Amino acid sequence: MSMADANLLEGGASIEADVCVVGAGAVGITIARELGEAGVRVVLLESGGLSPDEETQTLYDLRSAGYPIRENFMSRARYYGGSCNLWAGRNMLLEPLDAEARPWVEASGWPIPHAEIAGRYARAAAALRLPPIDRFDERTYRPRMSADEKAIFGSGPLRPAISLWAVKPMRFGPAGEKKLRASANVRVLLRASAVRIRLNADGSGVEAIEALTLGRKKLEVRARAFALACGGIENARLLLVSRDKHANGIGNRHDRVGRFFMDHPRAVFGRVLLKKDNRIPLLRGIPLRDGKVQFGIGLTEEAQRAESLLNHYVTLEAEYSEYVAQQYQTFVQTMKVLLRRGHAGSRWKIGRESMSDIPGMIYLLTPKELMPHFVYRWYTTLRRALDPQAGGNARVVVYFCEQPPDPESRVLLGEGRDALGVPRLELRWKIGSEVVRSLLRMQEILAENLARTGLGKLEPGDGEPRFSDASHHLGTTRMSDDPRAGVVDRDCRVHGVSNLYLAGGSVFPAAGHSSPTLTMIALALRLSEKLARETR
């Protein structure tokens, strides 16, 4: 691999490759690595450098005009390694029902069978350095489930929703670089932001990607195939701003680009008072030799079908006193900056003011992230031996919700331009009433279960739940066999453009409730196989 700062290239350079990948996040790095190993010559264009800087991060600024989402610098990182420089590292599987067309969820259904994704989960898990994927199987944990957990999941509409973490969250930058370095076929150009996709004369194929540096140096990459991996929001932006051949942007003849924006709305709503001698080790999370597992409480397929519910799950998190919360907040933020090398220069300070939601923050940064893994394991074992109910018997209920596809939840070109002259986006995130209905029903089901099993009592949340996003940006260039209904086909190729492919969360046609990165990597592997076949 070679890696260079695009500012050092000659102005107006035209570079050739078999495949041009745009965006060096988890997805782009995976594709470049796979193709490089398969003998394909790749140019990987990355907007940022090797560490965060405020000027580049500002290129992501957008106007949020719908349901509020986290500030730019909290929810995306525009430098080598992408948002996985910030991520919490939770991994879950997309479930078979999530990929099905469900009559009660409008516009649901993936055009590819779930097996196409599932068949690549083992390799995707290895890329994320996760424990083997049989650890997603409930049966693996039966011997470790407590009597209380067996009672919750024993019968009825609840089942475990399993999350796995690696020993350390995979930061694709430094780790991915090592593997990429081994590949002579990959050329990484840093500080090169793609600003336009140039189509050929009849608009049926891409001729080149045009890029600019913040120092206004111009370059272009010509290739046989192009894969955009700029994240779930930016992929749509690049299509929308490239208008010289198609007035509404590329792939947008039917006004689908940017629509169906989804995230996983998250709400801290209500609390549970557990019986005194409760034992819920898996629900609290168990450190493993090679990672960590936590059970959430999810809904069975039968329950979703019977009551037309969305796929939600909840976790029961420790409740802290206000004083402890304040101390913890300061400590966590300091550690976060140290461990994650800062968000985007000084702007992370603004985050301090908006992060008053302690349970939400605990989700973002658990002790697991603060300590070396072996210390974390000792700490957990010791703490549980000395004080099995540490944190008290009161637990807050955190809901992780499925957001159904909705064309009115969208990104579109907004007002103003960024420092490179690219039009900025407006984001109209819309959370429909179906989400609230499913959440409230889930709350009732959980309350009934806790009362029936004698494990505790649920105190419902007050009024309507207030959601925050999970930085899972999905759906804006959705996959569909029908060009009138989606932007890419089942091969992730933009309808009507023979050599343009999209990768990452933007192609998800339905979101389920699962943290999406593992599935994005599985899809990236699938796309790499296709591109390797076609361009080798």
Ligand X SMILES: Cc1cc2nc3c(=O)[nH]c(=O)nc-3n(C[C@H](O)[C@H](O)[C@H](O)COP(=O)(O)OP(=O)(O)OC[C@H]3O[C@@H](n4cnc5c(N)ncnc54)[C@H](O)[C@@H]3O)c2cc1C
* Contacting residues toward ligand X, per CB under 6 A: 22-28, 45-48, 75-76, 78-79, 82-84, 86-90, 193-194, 229-231, 234, 238, 364, 471-472, 504-505, 515-517, 520
Q: 52 or 456: whose CB is closer to ligand X? A: 52
Which residue type does 436 have? Answer: V
Task: Say if CB 272 and CB 316 are below 8 A apart.
Answer: yes
Q: 365 or 455: whose CB is closer to ligand X? A: 365
CB 274, min distance to ligand X, A: 25
CB 521, min distance to ligand X, A: 9
Of 66, 63, 76, the residue nearest 25 (C-alpha): 76
CB 520, min distance to ligand X, A: 5
Residue 367 exposed, middle or buried by CB count within 10 Å (0-12, 13-18, 19+): middle
Q: 273 or 370: whose CB is closer to ligand X? A: 370
CB 69, min distance to ligand X, A: 11
Task: Say if CB 474 and CB 467 are below 8 A apart.
Answer: no
CA 41-116-133 angle, to 5 degrees, is 95
Instruction: State how far the Cα of 241 lies from the Cα of 476, in Å rounded to an integer.
Output: 14
Instruction: State how far the Cα of 483 lies from the Cα of 479, in Å rounded to an integer.
Output: 9
Helix or strand holding residue 271 (H, E)? strand 266-274
Instruction: State how far the Cα of 460 lies from the Cα of 472, in Å rounded to an integer.
Output: 27
In the bound complex, which residue of the shown chain has the CB atom lying closest to ligand X?
A: 25
What residue has token string 């046609």?
A: 509
Q: 71 or 448: whose CB is closer to ligand X? A: 71
CB 182, min distance to ligand X, A: 20
Q: 26 or 240: whose CB is closer to ligand X? A: 26
CB 87, min distance to ligand X, A: 4
Which residue type does 247 have? Answer: A
Q: 271 or 493: whose CB is closer to ligand X? A: 493
Q: 56 or 278: whose CB is closer to ligand X? A: 56
CB 66, min distance to ligand X, A: 19
- Neighbouring residues of 485: CB distance < 8 A, sequence distance ≥ 6: 107, 254, 256, 478
Question: H helices within 182-290, ranges in order?
Answer: 234-241, 281-284
Q: 173 or 456: whose CB is closer to ligand X? A: 173
CB 500, min distance to ligand X, A: 14
List of E strands, 146-257: 158-165, 186-190, 193-199, 206-212, 218-228
